[in-house]
Structure 1
Amino acid sequence: MAAQAVLVTGGTRGIGYATAQAFLAQGAHVAICGTNPESLRAAEHALEVLAVRADVRDPQQVQSFVEQARKRFGRVDVLVNNAGVAWSGDFADEAYESIARQIDVNVKGVLYTARAVLPYMLEQGAGVIINIASGAGLTAFAGITTYSATKFAVVGFTEALDQEVRDRGIRVYGVCPGRVATDMQQAYAGRKIGMPPEQVAKRIAELAGPKPRARTGSCVTLG
């Protein structure tokens, strides 16, 4: 079996970084994207991956990321839509810029990247798209109202896209972890509490394999 070509958005830290490591351990070819040049260089050096500066809010940058990975690897087998941002506090106090940023990254970014890879996957007749949502996308929580709304959107998108492509060789899954010990959790709770990112990454890599143990279109819960 040929090595998988895997794309991970937000791959310079947290779940995305751990996911890149998990796929590399399986012998996959991995491309990551992010917006911080220093973090990208560090990840590129440490992981030996294709690291592309791309903001998922920009369709042209997303398309460039996908094209560079496809040119390097010859195909696109797996997309892990991981990039995400959050803000915590009372919704009445949230700035409009914060609302827009979360919608742009957490929702539009997922749609843009999936849209960019789908034509290639459909041409291949195979592919896996894994959208990282959240437990907050299944049960709403006060204090992260906009974030929760965006993750509900990701769950809905996962279900709808699955209905379109599951008979065309494409598998689509959502992943809805609980608390994960990442920088985002540090910002929200003041400390890194929850399951290690590696635990989530292991399940993501499993979903992309031959024995996913999950129904396509579902949001796999963890924690």
Structure 2
Amino acid sequence: MPSILISGAGQGIGAAAAKLFYQQGYKVGIYDINAVQTQKLAQQLGENAKAGLLDVANIEHWQKALTEFTQWAGELNVLVNNAGILYSGAFEHTDIASHHRTIDINVKGVINGCYASLPYLQKAAFARVINLSSASAIYGQADLATYSASKFAVRGLTESLDIEWQKYGIRVLDVMPLFVQTAMVKDMDAESIRKMGVHLTPDDVAEQILSLATLKAHAFTPTHRAVGFKTKVLFNLSKISPQFVNRLSNLWIAQKQSALEK
């Protein structure tokens, strides 16, 4: 029975992925900083689900989680670095602690997960890492500056390790959704969410994670998976549009209507 460990699995995309993979016959590790949510979900799913506490910014948490999970599951086949946070609003109006926390979780958390999991992935019959990037990693987003920067970091790390770890037979891929209907986007202070809308569900993203985990990857398999029609359009246009066009289009997305009418 294949196994998967998902960080930030107590709610949202992580919980949706845990349910989907469980239905597909995986042993599922549900790890989150909220231990109550993980235990509740694991109990709902059944005996092939294991809950655990994980602060992704803490490498010792990762080491403990991976040790206990692999002892229970037998091996680690798929790692999903899903845990993340988002602060929105003007860069200068967001306190510096929140900027630092974004980097600690969204960037250091993914680095920690990849670093700590490699010895286990190398031993597995097949292994894959799937990171949660974002449409915000296509072009830097106003009022989401540090979040966007963190997802660019995830994108870069994914590309780098997908090449580095080819020698181990491990593909490192990511999904890049636009705004998803989760608690993270409630009360967001960014014009982009009003103009682009929130059309994706956690189930939509979970299905793409499952697709990446189960596909027979080859040399021409893309490292990035844009999720949703709008994300695919933005991602593909960014490849062919001149830089000034990308800037102007993102300037339009970011500008409030009142500013445009002046």
Q: TM-score range by the shorter chain?
A: over 0.9
Aligned twin of 2:85: 85
- Is the CA contact 1:9–1:80 (under 8 Å) kept in the aligned structure 2? yes
Over aligned residues, Cα RMSD in angstroms?
2.0
**Greater alpha carbon shift after TM alignment, 20-29 vs 210-219:** 210-219
Q: Quick check: which one's helix share is greater?
A: 2
Aligned twin of 2:8: 10
Structure 2 counterparts to residues 67-216 of structure 1, below 5 A? 67-124=67-124, 126-188=126-188, 193-211=198-216, 215=220
TM-score by length of 1: 0.93
- Is the CA contact 2:35–2:51 (under 8 Å) kept in the aligned structure 1? no
Cα distance in 2, alignment partners of residues 65 and 22 from structure 1: 21
- CA distance 1:217–1:100, change in 2 (3 Å): farther
Q: Identity across aligned pairs (percent)? A: 36
Q: Does 1:220 align with 2:220?
A: no
- Is the CA contact 1:14–1:197 (under 8 Å) kept in the aligned structure 2? yes
Q: Match for 1:128: what amino acid?
A: R
State the secondary structure of the residue aligned to 1:188.
Answer: coil
1:47 to 45, 48, 56: 45
Cα distance in 2, alignment partners of residues 15 and 111 from structure 1: 20
Unaligned runs of 5+ in 2: 229-262
Cα distance in 1, alignment partners of residues 222 and 58 from structure 2: 26
Cα distance in 2, alignment partners of residues 146 and 83 from structure 1: 16
Q: Does 1:31 align with 2:36?
A: no
- Is the CA contact 1:134–1:151 (under 8 Å) kept in the aligned structure 2? yes
Cα distance in 2, alignment partners of residues 194 and 162 from structure 1: 29
Number of equivalent positions: 221
The structural deviation recorded for 1:214 is 9.2
Cα distance in 1, alignment partners of residues 225 and 62 from structure 2: 26
State the secondary structure of the residue aligned to 2:68.
Answer: helix
State the secondary structure of the residue aligned to 2:84.
Answer: coil
Cα distance in 1, alignment partners of residues 80 and 5 from structure 2: 6
- Is the CA contact 2:57–2:108 (under 8 Å) kept in the aligned structure 1? yes
